[in-house]
Structure 1
Amino acid sequence: MVVEDEQKLAELLGSYLEHDGFEVSVVHDGLHAVATARGVDPDVVVLDLGLPGLDGVEVCRQLRTFSDAYVVMLTARSDEVDTLIGLSVGADDYMTKPFSPRELMARVQTMFRRPRATGKPSAGPAGPNAVNALEGARRFGTLTLDPVGRDVWLDGETVALTRTEFDLLATLSEHPRMAFSRRQLIEAVWGPSWVGDEHLVDVHVGHLRRKLGDDPVEGRFVRTVRGVGYRMGAGQ
């Protein structure tokens, strides 16, 4: 779904996406965007920050109440504050105008290689015991991650993560003793061709920590490695 009030740009992006084989819905204001998203259940939303009706930040905030779509925020302003505000409500990525439509297509294609949740995560009929018995699950104290089902549990209760948050946690947990640089996490989650401010990683790590109830200083689940980046904590 393309949400852009500049009609020519919206049509251009829509045509690029359709040419690459995507089914595309194009809307030009925030209120229509939320209603359309409920109807079409998009995999990816290309979302302009400056929209009439509801701005992009509020649209993204509402989307996150019912959708796990990958959200790319578009902004005409390069002000870092605007970017971080957009990311703080659940946007996965951002691009500053002007940008190459081909660069946007490359990012969308990268995201389409990620699995999408098949439904709401569940602890299963047997509750925490079933979670603990999962074959192939990764466990860090009271945190359990199922890389196959893309589910996460904390103290036996499900944790609702966006696809980007899950992919960050899955990357860290796959090699729990490894200290990942921001660049390594960018390449693993956003793709090797991604270009932009690598502090994007810090924003999403902050979201992840809040959902896990993790203190940045203690780092039970996600530890900060000074001068390097992040690694998985032991859950203690």
Structure 2
Amino acid sequence: MVTPDKKVRILCVEDDPQMRTFLLAQLKARSFQTQAVRDGAQAVDLAAIFQPELVLLDLSLPSLDGLSFLRRFREWSTAPVIVLSAHDEEPVKIKALDLGADDYLTKPFSLNELLARVRVALRRADETARLRNSVTGQDAPRPLYRCGGENGLVVDFAHRSVHSNGQEVHLTPTEYDLLCELTRNAGKVLTHRELLQRVWGPDYSGENTYLRTFIRHLRRKLEPDPAQPRFLHNELGVGYYVPLPDAQTTLE
């Protein structure tokens, strides 16, 4: 949440060195706390550490393109993303917006227009955060879920990795998506129908046996004793949930 007494963190993911230098200088001159990176894969790591409150994102990046970064970033962060791109084709804009971009600005652009869009995006994010906090009492999602201490269950959303009992656990893409839905909604019971629709799609909304099979697979991989689950709990006849994260959970 944006507050008047702290600098807002903005991450610039920009391949062009001149544009990157320009953005950093202009944002710092206006008292924003900024970090910049030119590589999409490095941007994923930096975003997890820096936890930006807004991202300025170029699409043409080495290693990992901007759309792929956006897809990864949206797995754990709701921070607004403004795309700054030379691509003005409608399909590219639609793809970026569908993946979770909040705004799209075509290069070249004026500095005043960019700053106006930054102000609007931050204001909307602040209002959304206030509403979320008043309704749920919870802050925005963090890129790390940890339950049960160092040797418990750890889900690193930024790097799509899972550890249990201190060991990395290899999950199938569907198993990981199912676990992410549960851990992103920790403490809340998700119904069978909700989980099936979110992970597999609307055509699977009645496949409860299918869901039970995947929960059983996850318990075998993650639980010290699958018969006495610590993490993946069942609400009989309703759905599944995982406990709230440890109170002292912080970023590595």
Q: TM-score, normalised by structure 2?
A: 0.47
Instruction: Check conservation: 1:3, 1:33, Cα contact below 8 A.
Output: yes
Partner of 1:149: 133
Instruction: Check conservation: 1:16, 1:105, Cα contact below 8 A.
Output: no
Partner of 1:19: 29
Partner of 2:101: 91
Instruction: Check conservation: 1:117, 1:150, Cα contact below 8 A.
Output: no
Following superposition, the deviation at residue 110 of structure 1 comes to 2.0
Q: How many residues align?
A: 132
Instruction: Check conservation: 2:58, 2:66, Cα contact below 8 A.
Output: yes
Following superposition, the deviation at residue 77 of structure 1 comes to 1.6
Query: For the pair shown, which has the larger CA radius of gyration, 1 or 2?
Result: 2
In structure 2, distance between residues paired with 1:86 and 1:31: 18
In structure 2, distance between residues paired with 1:84 and 1:150: 32
Partner of 2:49: 39
Partner secondary structure for residue 16 of structure 1: helix
In structure 2, distance between residues paired with 1:61 and 1:70: 13
Following superposition, the deviation at residue 148 of structure 1 comes to 6.5
State which of 82, 85, 89 in structure 2 corresponds to 1:79. 89
| Cα distance change of structure 1 residues 147 and 23 upon mapping to structure 2, 3 Å threshold | closer
Determine if the alignment matches structure 1 residue 113 to structure 2 residue 123. Answer: yes
Instruction: Check conservation: 2:102, 2:121, Cα contact below 8 A.
Output: no
Cα deviations across residues 63-91 of structure 1 (Å, max 9, x unaligned)?
00111111001221210001011111111
Unaligned runs of 5+ in 2: 1-10, 142-196, 203-252
Partner secondary structure for residue 2 of structure 1: strand
The one-letter code matched in structure 1 to 2:89 is: D
Partner of 1:100: 110
For the aligned residue pairs, the C-alpha RMSD in angstroms reads 2.9
Identity %: 38
Partner of 2:78: 68
Unaligned runs of 5+ in 1: 119-145, 153-157, 162-209, 215-236
In structure 2, distance between residues paired with 1:147 and 1:27: 32
Instruction: Check conservation: 1:45, 1:70, Cα contact below 8 A.
Output: yes
Following superposition, the deviation at residue 104 of structure 1 comes to 0.9
